[in-house]
Every structure is written in C-alpha cells, then in structure tokens.
A and B are shown apart, each in its own frame.
Chain A
Amino acid sequence: MQYEALIQAMGMVFTFETVMWMLIGSALGITMGALPGLTAPTAVALALPLTFQMQFAPALGLLIGLYKGAIYGGSISAIVFSIPGTPASAATIADGYKLTQQGKTLKALLMALYASITSDLVASLAVILVAPAIIAAALSFGPSERFWLTILAVTLIGSLAGKHMAKGLFSAALGIYLATIGSDPISGAFRNTFGLSVLQDGLPLIPLVVGLFAIGPLLEDGIALCMSKKRVQRVKVVFKEIFSSDFGEGLTIREYLRTWKEMAIGTIVGAIAGALPGLGAAVGAFLSYSIAKQVSPKKKIGTGTIEGVAASESGNSATVGPALLPLLAFGIPGSATVALIGGALMLQGLTPSPRMFSLYPEAVYSIFIILLVTNFCLLGIGRVFTLFFARVGQIPKQLIIPAIFMLSVIGTYVTEYNPSHVGLMLVIGVIAFGMRIFNIPLSPLLITFMITPVMEVNLRQALLIGGGDFYSALFDSPLAIGLIIITVSMLLGVYLLTRRKQRSPGLDE
C-alpha cells in the first residue's frame, strides 16, 4: 500500500468539485437509466466529451456516477412501467412490476436502491482488496501472454454478445479493422486513411462512441416514432403527472434484512460476471435471479416479492466495480461502458495497463475511492428523488430524441472544434444504425477497437523477441499455451451453451 499516493488520491477525490460531479453523475445516470431506450453506454458516451475539459478526479466521478446511476435507474422504469430502462434491469420486471400492481411501488423502488448500493459497496471493496494482487500478477505477463489474453477477451466478448455468435464476432472483427485506421503504432506509417487527413491520427474516440451509442439507437427510435400511428402525444398531461405522488408503503429495516441471502447471491454472482469480459450486468442480474429462485423456493420469488427485486438488482449492480478490474489490471475493458471509461482515462493522458498502478498509483487509488463514495451519493440522491425519477421516465421520446441529437452534435464538436468530427460521427451513426437493424451487436466493436492497439503492439513485441519466429514468439510459454486452451474451450463452451439455450429459452441480454 502506497500511503502517500492514497493520501494524494483522497485529496483529489474529497474536494467540492469532485463530489459535486459525483452527485451530478449519479442524478443524470439515474435519469438516463430510468428513460427506456437510453443505456449506461449512451449516458457515458454523451458525457465523455465533457470530461475533456475537466480534471482527472471530477471526470471519473462524473462517469462512474453516471455508470452506477444508470444501472440502478434502469430498475425504476422496470418497476414502475414494466419496461426495462436498461437491458440489465429486465430481470427486475418479474417481481418489481408485480409489486407495483399490488400498490407497493415505493417498497419495490427502495428495495432496488438499497440492494444495488449494498451489493455495489461490497463488490467494490472486494475489487480494492483483490486488485493489487491481480495487477502484480499481470506484470508477470510478457508480450505473448498479453497478446493471447487480448485474443481471449475478443473471443469472449464477440461470442457472448447477443444470441448470434457469428454476428458478435463480425462486430468484433469490424472493431479491429476500425482500430487500424490511421497510423501504424510502431512505425507511424499511414494505413486505411482513404486519403482523408482527418483519419491520419486514427478514428477519434468521441465521434465513434457518440455515433455508435447515441446516433445509431436514436435513429431507430426516431423512425419508430415517425412510423407510429399514435405519434402525436400531449406533453402537458405527462408534465402534470411528474409532480404527483401516490406510491404506497415504504420499506422497513426488517424487510431489508430479510433479503440478506438474495443480496449475497447477487453480490457474488454479479462480481464474477462483472470481472469476466463479455458477461456484463444483464447476465449478472438474470443469473442471480435464477439462482435465488432455486435456492429459496418457499419465498415464492416471481410472484411479486422484495426478495426477487433484491436478487436481480444486487446481481446487476455488483458487476460495476469488478468490471473495472480487467481494465486496470490488463488494459482490457470487459464491457462497452468500461471501454468508455478507459477512453476517458486516455483523454486524461493515462493509458490503462498494469503499469498504471506503479506509474500513477494516486490515479488508481482515486478510482477506488470514487467507486466507494459514489455509492453514498447514489444513496442520497436515490432516496430523496426516487419518486421524481420514476415520473421523469414518462417524458415522451418526442422530446428526448431531439435533445439527445442536439447533445450528440454539440458534444462531439466542442471536444476539438473540428467540424469533420461531426461528419465522422454521423457516418459511424449510419453504420451503427445498419448494425442495429440487422441485430449485429455494437459493444464488441467498441471493446475490440480499444483492445486492438494493445493486441498489435504485444504481437509485434513478441515477434521481435522471438526473432521473427511465430512458434517461439507465441507458443513457447506454458502460460500462453494455457490461454490458448482457455480461449478454444470458451469458444466451444459458448457455442454448445447457445445450442442448448435455443431449445430452452432462459437467459438473454
């Protein structure tokens, strides 16, 4: 433990500015999570341009607050409207909406909030305790091991995204291609620039993420609205309802403590799902829910119980802290949102890698402290404004879509005041739109885009060390062989599992 760095980190985090941005991030995240159709990656993608102007700690406070807020916020829409605000909150509908139908909306919302924060806090503490050991182990990985680790991550992420493995891997391959646009990482020679000077420095991150996660989805939602017969909607009625309050009884401490088993299951399952690249919050939520249902059949999870809400919400929130572990330890983001946070670190001049802990320990400790403190911000904001957020979810898409389009354009432009970035954003938005309409997942594209430079540099370093001989460079180390075996086994395992799932539909993201 580097005490000086820890004290420096505390000095960076416990400032008015950082705490203010954590609160703003949490509030915005809950709002965006509560709005159906807006996911955690969209929220973080839209905020990413803003962090360019900010210092390190406030920027991370905003983004991690957004991330956690959006994960919790998805449950609000699930409980109140039976519409998952985010894919991860779909598991909460089963019990959450039934509780609403029983007139116990507030109870369900508070259970979701307290379960989310409890599991997130425990999982974040586990990450803080485990991370130094994992980072130390990561330093013993050489270039060939790191190369195979990136191959494993790409394989997992591509094969686990969505139902159709080939489409997920197609998206991952597209991400690798897009990452090669610009200049060679070692020699600096230009490649895939198509004669455009704007591409000589590579595909800029902000137009990419905004185009992928804001423009693409919004186009589809906008078209759905345009083609809808019931398009015209009176906004006045919706605004009146936002300030009314009639949500039923609250949650007692005894009821909260009664769900300890379900929260424990959610925390453990969610932490493991979060730490493994490609699984994510939705898998954490559904797995926890299924396991809790089987472990406690007498509690009748699925009929409208707080235990069901506790299990799913713990499962999805516990993924947040552990999802940062592969990024901090190996520089490999395990999910789209973490890839965006990795992008934010790069915008701040820090490259996520095992070396980050030794070169910038205060930055890593700041991330750990922010992971913990954000939970309290979320608790405060969630507790006070839960009812308000529930109503905000009713703001019609006719207003949300134009606002997000506007934010996307302005946010992209003001990062570097380069008009061609907005053009790039729109082009990428069209590609993302095309991918969405044919159900090709977007997350693998972004994650492999971030991983590819690490993959290529390590491949070439390994070849240099091996004197140009592929075998001795890539297959000579027992750890590398082990990683290859794990990659092939995972690929086969996922393929066989999805074949079984086709016969018995169950988990789905």
Chain B
Amino acid sequence: MASVISGNKCAWIRTNQALGVALTLLMLAFLTCTLLSTWVFKLQRDGFPLGFMSIAAICLMLLMSLAIIFDRHRHNKAREGSETEMAVTGTFLAYAFVLLTMVGLYFIAVLGVGFLLATPIFLFISASALGARPWSLVIFFAVFTTALISLMLTGLGTVLPAGVLFA
C-alpha cells in the first residue's frame, strides 16, 4: 500500500498510520496485561484504586495511538522532521545494537579493570570506529579526556571505580 507525501510516494509501513497501528496494538497488549495484574484494582486507604493512574496513562496513550492512525498527518512519513531522516533498515538497527553493546561492555570493563584503564581504551576504539584520524591524535584525545574527567570527578569528591590497577 503506497501513500503520497507532498508528491512523493512512500511505502505505507513508513507512514505515521503504520506507526499508529503498531502503537495501538502495543498499547492494547499493555492494557490487557496491566488489567490482569493482581494489584491494579486494590483499593488504598483513601478508597483510590492502586492502578488508576497507570490505567489512565495507558488509555491516554491508546487514544493518542488511535489519533495517529486517523489524523491529518497519517499519510506523512513517520520519520519526517527527525534530525537525520535516515531510513530504519537492518543496517541502521545493527549499528544501534553495536553502539549500545560497546557502551554496555565499557561499563562492565570499568567495574572490572577500573575507570583509568577502561576509559582510554573505550574512547580510542569508539572514536576510531566512528572515523577519527590520525591514530596519534585519537590516542592523545583518549588519554587527555580520561585524565581531565578523572581530575574533575576526583576534585568533586567522587570515588571512581579503581579495578585492578589500584586494588
């Protein structure tokens, strides 16, 4: 199914309407799970149901998802107006996964080997992977930034993870 956006055709799956349908299904599932929870209808001391605000919020999200399906922006690209407007492809999502994994691994490394060891390595690898050159300046950036942040945080009385270096 194709939709017209300012004279350009766009696959339906990339429109706000498709986004609205996906969000509606998600919110319906979410509402169902929440309503089936044991705590939702428990009355508090003031007679107020414990799940009132949560259900109200989910219902409002459901209402807005339905509005997205039917409002005048429904045929527009869902990503229209976003800063990069890149298409969400497999490669796009793969890069997101890789970046998140790198950040997660960095944190595990900080807990394991300490801030002073893990941080320059992380900065060097990620800056190089993102394309910064030459290598010598990237190494300088990694070491300089680590030292600067370490001094700043230590000056504030923050204890940074020491890891194996200073254990």
Interface residue ranges, A against B (CB under 8 Å): 37, 50, 53-54, 162-167, 169-170, 172-174, 176-177, 179-180, 184, 186-187, 189-192, 215, 219-228, 231-236, 239, 396-399, 401-403, 405-410, 413-414, 419, 422, 426, 429-430, 433, 436-439, 452, 456, 460, 463-464, 468, 499, 502
Contact = CB atoms under 8 A, between A and B. Distances in A.
A169 B68 CA distance: 11
A15 B22 CA distance: 55
B67 to A, nearest CB: 4
A208 to B, nearest CB: 16
A77 to B, nearest CB: 14
Contact of A53 (B23, B84, B88, B157): B157
Nearest to B42: A189
Contacts of A402: 122-123, 126-127, 130
- Say whether chain A's binding surface is mostly helix, strand, loop, or mixed: helix
A31 to B, nearest CB: 13
Contacts of B53: 176, 179-180, 452, 456
Contacts of B129: 226
- For the complex of A and B, the 7 pairs showing the least CB-CB separation, nearest first, are A231-B131, A398-B132, A177-B57, A173-B60, A402-B126, A170-B64, A166-B67
Contacts of A419: 107, 111
Interface in B93-119: 95-96, 98-100, 103-104, 106-107, 110-111, 115, 119
B86 interface: yes
Contacts of A436: 82-83
A349 to B, nearest CB: 18
Contact of B137 (A186, A239, A408): A239
A227 B93 CA distance: 11
A413 B109 CA distance: 13
B127 A222 contact: no
A199 to B, nearest CB: 13
A111 B24 CA distance: 49
Contact of A173 (B50, B64, B84): B64
Nearest to A226: B95
Contact of A235 (B46, B48, B54, B137): B137
Of A170, A174, A215, A401, chain B has the most CB atoms within 10 Å of the CB of: A170
B88 A169 contact: no
Nearest to A230: B131
A174 B157 contact: no
A430 B88 CA distance: 14
Contacts of B106: 405-406, 409
Interface in B31-68: 39, 42, 44-48, 50-51, 53-54, 56-58, 60-61, 64-65, 67-68
B166 interface: no
A219 B100 contact: yes
B82 A399 contact: no
A54 B100 CA distance: 30
Given A170-B61, A410-B115, A437 B79 contact: yes
A69 to B, nearest CB: 17
Contacts of A232: 131-133
A403 B123 contact: yes
A53 B158 contact: yes
16 contacts: A169-B67, A170-B61, A170-B68, A174-B61, A180-B54, A191-B54, A223-B86, A225-B130, A227-B92, A405-B103, A410-B153, A414-B159, A426-B100, A430-B100, A433-B96, A438-B79
B91 interface: yes
A234 to B, nearest CB: 6
Contacts of B111: 419
Contacts of A164: 16, 68, 71, 73
Contacts of B159: 414
B60 A176 contact: yes
A452 B46 CA distance: 18
B28 to A, nearest CB: 14
A235 B91 CA distance: 26
A426 B105 CA distance: 12
- Say whether chain B's binding surface is mostly helix, strand, loop, or mixed: helix
A176 B130 contact: no
B12 interface: no
Contacts of A226: 95, 98-99, 129-130
A398 B127 contact: yes
A164 B39 CA distance: 35
A422 B115 CA distance: 15
Given A170-B23, A170-B64, A234-B133, A50 B127 contact: no
A56 B143 CA distance: 32
B10 interface: no
Contact of B132 (A162, A189, A233): A233
Nearest to B76: A164
A401 B137 contact: no
B21 interface: no
Contacts of B131: 225, 228, 231-233, 398
B147 interface: no
A189 B39 contact: yes
Contacts of B79: 437-439
B84 A398 contact: no
A227 B23 contact: no
A401 B126 contact: yes
Nearest to A158: B64
Nearest to B53: A180
Of B131, B156, B160, chain A has the most CB atoms within 10 Å of the CB of: B131
Contacts of A224: 84, 86
A414 B78 contact: no
A236 B84 contact: no
Nearest to A167: B68
B145 A403 contact: yes
A36 B132 CA distance: 17
A398 B130 contact: yes
B19 A438 contact: yes
Contacts of B45: 186-187
Contacts of B84: 220-221, 223-224
A170 B67 CA distance: 10
Nearest to B65: A170
